[in-house]
Structure 1
Amino acid sequence: MSKLYFSLIIYFLTLSSSFAQATLLPDSLANAPDSVKMWALREVGDSLIFAGQYVMSKQAFQQALALAQTKGDRNAIAMGNRGMGFWHEQTGDYGQAIAWYQKALQAFQESGNTKQFARTLRFVSECYDRLQDYKQALSYIKQSLALAEKYQYTDLIMQCYEGLAIYESKAKRYQQALALRKKVLAYYESTKDSLSYYQALYNIGLLYKNMGQYGRSEQAFKDVLAYGKRQKNDFLIGYAYISLPYALIPQNKLDEAETCCRLALAWVEQVGGEKHTFLEEINGHLSQLWEKRGNYQQALQYYRLQMVSHDSIVNAEKNRQVAELETRYQTRQKEAEIQELAESNAEKNRQIWAAVGGLILLAVLLGTLYNLYERVRRNRQKIQHQSEQLTLMMREIHHRAKNNLAIVSSLLYLQTASLDDDDVIQTMRVGQQRVEAMALIHQRLYQTDQTTTIEMAEYLTDLTESLLKAYGYQVDDFDLQLTIDVEELDVDIAMPLGLITNELITNSLKYAYECGQRPLLHIWLGTVSRLSESDIILEVQDNGPGIDMADWQQTGKRNTFGKHLVTLLSQQLNGMFEVINHNGTLFRLIIPQSRLDA
């Protein structure tokens, strides 16, 4: 019995101390100097970020900063603060990143490390650039350049020149941008850094193109292509083929431009990379050159391919933003779990030491230890179960999107609780309904085996009934006529179509049923034959007093935002819509078959 008792004590003490003293340093550096440990922790943090391990990466940066603060080294503290800023920048939290970088700047200034101070100014500039605050971004990069030139930090000077050239080009100050890029080119030529030289020459080729100097642009791109072929550098070759048509087409060298486009398409299929971005650019060249040849049908075909690639890029960016928000959300969740676990283990430690002090009450102590053991086991099971749930959630992107939208809806609901203005409350609730209409789409996607199509009958039924409930109507007291002849639609069509339906139903529920008659709402989603195609048609009709057409056609009236939203979403669907007074208000939207095929 006593052996079991002491074995349990040792087990719990070892468990709790392992959490308290957990470190991400390799065992080989256990006895290394503090400066080496801090450097290693920052390197570990960088590696874990690029591996997607954001929670552990943050722990590494935090441990490096804590060690620096214990040591009291201002330069090490500055590096630790910059590491934390880098972590926030990589997770998309640019405001927090700037705050940490500002702490690093102050510490670098106090330690007298001018070079790292100047480098950190560039990091701040990049964050402001991502926030699209170009005035601040330009201010910080100019400060970095001034210090780099003063102390002759040549590599940093070249980086600042590159950044300033981008800003000058955006402002269409091409001569200033060209002067900066030529300085960079001359530097790499003097250092015999061939790869960097031709990369800089490629940027100059793009600048010549923007300046309308197509002959010089063509020569720059061809020099890059020749170097790429000599060095068998597939990426330089591919970029040269993609960019040459910018210079060739304005010079009417259409056959040569088409050859470059064909080679670029083959390169995209072989090498990959940012595929949709490349395809958008190449198909744009092909559309332009066929237009110059007078073959407008062929030009239109390539323009449509260009638009398909453009839509794919937009969707990829949206998915990236959703993934970024999900990463930040899960990071906070995991941090909270780790903090809760640490606090739980600290509490267990105190309980264990209290039990050790009461050895006389052996029976009570053994019961307490067994209870603690069971709690730890249950906590482990709970953590394992949560881990399995998180793993499943990572595989279900539509489920994640629905959860994020549900959070937004809940936040809007909570916000209305603190408001007194009825108009503002109503506006917030309408916004919440729009979010819930989108969330319902994602809920349908993850609840079925289909991940790209929506069952329209179930979706529109759920959407309509939820809106009736939100506005206090009972289904039995309402003439609801749902005629859904289209079984399924792609999510890219169903999402804007659902938002349009949400706006129209909301408008009817708010304004149509004020005359005392039994409310009627008719919704029809079907097909209509036009020439050789079958278009989609959506009709929403109520039996209210109708709509003032003059009011509908003017701006600044009620529902202006909803009206603009319906208009923009209809344009997104390439649809034609009309509003008619016919025994109430009738809204009709026709979506062409060509949009469904795209």
Structure 2
Amino acid sequence: MLLRYLYSILLFVVAIFFLSSCEKQKQLAESGDKAVEEELASLYKKAEDYGNSSPDSLIAIGNRVLATGNRLNNHTAIVRGEKFIARAYWNMANHTEGMKHAVTALRDAEKWGILSEIPNIYGIIGNMHKEKQNYDMALDAADKGMNIAKTLKDTSSIIFMIRLKAMFTQGLGANTKDTAMIHRSLNMHLDGLKIAEMVPSLERARIPYYNNIAQVYVKRNQLDSAEYYVTKAITLAKKYDQQSSLTYSYTWLSQILNRRGEQALSLDYLQKALLISQQIQQPHRQMELYDYLMEGYRSAGKYKEALGAYTRYSDIRDSLQILQNVRQVGELQVQYEAGKKDRQISALGEVNELRSKQTAGALAVLVLVLGLSAVMFSQYRVIRRNNVELAENNRKISEQSAKMQLLMKELHHRVKNNLQIVSNLLSLQGNRLTDDDAKRIIKAGQQRIETMSIIHRSLYSQETVNMVNMRDYINDLLDSIMQSFGIDEHDTDLFIMVGVEELEVDIAMPLGLIINEWITNSFKHAFHDVKRPSITLNLVEIRNQMQLEIKDNGPGFDVRTWEQANRSFGVRLIKVLSKQLEGQCRVIQGSGAFFQLEIPLNSPRRAA
């Protein structure tokens, strides 16, 4: 009896000890989990602080979050770690690495159903496409992020995606010179800002809205509205220490000051923005600011500094390989999207396979056609082998074509840059000359170089690398000529009709030089005693030939100068270029100078 009593007491003590031990282990585990959660929360906060200011620190934080997530199998931490690293590489303009990590984060977020992170990931992807001027994929990323944000009914993400889509629309409109698209982007920004201003906790999200709206108003020359929004942006950017946003605020403020004639203060704000972008290690932003500095120095007459800024802009642009790896960055996302579709197709295939097993008995009658199937299968293997070879050949041809097109774009880009450098050097040299005739000769040479540069600028920014859009080219050329003479387009009547859509570059180049020579001659000699200058230019196709006509309302052109070409370099150049095009040119007597050039479209010698 006593032994049984002692045995019961022993069991009770053991049970108490066991329960106490389990409770301590549970408390330790909960304490450990809480410590990890606090550590991750601290890292998330630091990542938010370093998001636009210290990419090296952001990479280190991303790796720590990623390592913790993998160690504890914390899916949210894994996705956020990849997202932080992707954001850092985007800020450093290393878009290839940035896209790799962004696509990995997107894949894991979709696989584990962490939908709240997806809009922000698509935002990073869209911004990288935008900085590569790949606006189609940027807008596609914004739409996908918006769909997820609406599904979650996440107001913060919806505001973020509205701003991104508006910004990408604005960039595409500026790139294509589509004023209607730019106006639409302003309305999108204002709509998104209304939502952001309704939620006090989203005050920080208003900063990029204010900057983007200010940018549009600057481009529309509505300086008071631009100053109103940029002042709001600066106030909040300083309040929340948003250094990257501050560089944009200072940029738009500098443009406002420049247009008001305060060049010195405008350059000072650009220098402040450049210093911040260097401190936060954003090379793409530095490239953009050197471009603004070049224009600012040039408008202030500081040509040496302008040339230095342009050199830094070109060096950074080349180091970032803006054109070279745009296809590679786009393909990283395309490959992921294609792989996702393949997995969906594979899943459907498994379902179909299961159904086919269930109906195997009904298909037994197909045994009767096995003989014929054997013959058809043999033929199928031959056809399939041929198709594989054909597909491989087509792939190689497509790759070679894409590489050749990219090389041609790069060639036009470099030629345009070199021509621009020559033009800048001529401008700097011309400013040092005292002889008026020498200055005029330098200015004429600079305009001829600009005529050729406009073509190469057009060719490297479009898909067809050997065809020139004549309507855009002639409009850009006339704008350039009038700017060189300091003439406002509103003070001149221009009547332009271009009935020729595109021309090969070896025809467009000499044709552009001819137009440049004749229009330049009109502005130099025809309008001294004319109350309102007028120029009519027609380029049309008539009966298997192309006809160019240029007419002004000046006193007319001296036929003796035309007939004695050696007396004028410009006339001699026009005749040589017309002969190169196998065309017939003439000056027709009448009121004003009337030049006509007829070029055969199907020349055997040019076709050869």
Scaled by the length of structure 1, what TM-score is found?
0.37
Using the size of structure 2 for normalisation, the TM-score is 0.36
Give 1 or 2 for the bigger CA radius of gyration: 2
